Amino acid sequence: MNELRLRVITPTRELALDDVLHLRFEADDGARGVMPGHERATDQLREGAVYVRTRAGEVQREQFVATEGGIAVIGPREVVLVSSWAERADEVSALAELVRARETRREAIDRAAKALGRQRETALRRALTKLKREVSW
């Protein structure tokens, strides 16, 4: 019983992490830490990050899972978190990077459109001025 299995269940998907050495989440009455062999319990899961330390061979790795709150069902070999929404931190980071890239692209398009609009407005004013000169002679 050296490791736990973590399952995070949402209405749209299930995340699973094996070889969990330790996890920590916020409950209604404070932080809750769980290690392999923990006694059975059920707890309220608060919105926020769940810290997870896993083992990949001899290497230990820290991971985070963002949740919208829910219920934690704790057992000696498995912890199940049931939430209406959950994402791994690396997925959230990738999504945030995508949003930033799209926002940057949109801003560049807006700047280009404004510059083009100013150029066309200037050209139109020059043409009108030229036309007025020709008509007034």
Give the whole-angstrom CA distance, residue 106 versus residue 100: 10
pLDDT in tens, 36-45: 999 999 999 9
Domain boundaries, the chain: 4-87
> For a pLDDT cut of 90, what percent of the chain falls above it?
56
What is the homologous superfamily of the domain 4-87 according to CATH? F0F1 ATP synthase delta/epsilon subunit, N-terminal (2.60.15.10)
CA 44 to chain centre: 22
Both tokens of 97, joined, read 């990077």
pTM: 0.65
Give the whole-angstrom CA distance, residue 26 versus residue 48: 7
pLDDT in tens, 52-82: 999 887 888 888 898 988 999 999 999 999 9
Q: How confident is the model at residue 133 (pLDDT cuts 50, 70, 90)?
A: confident
Give the whole-angstrom CA distance, residue 86 versus residue 68: 6
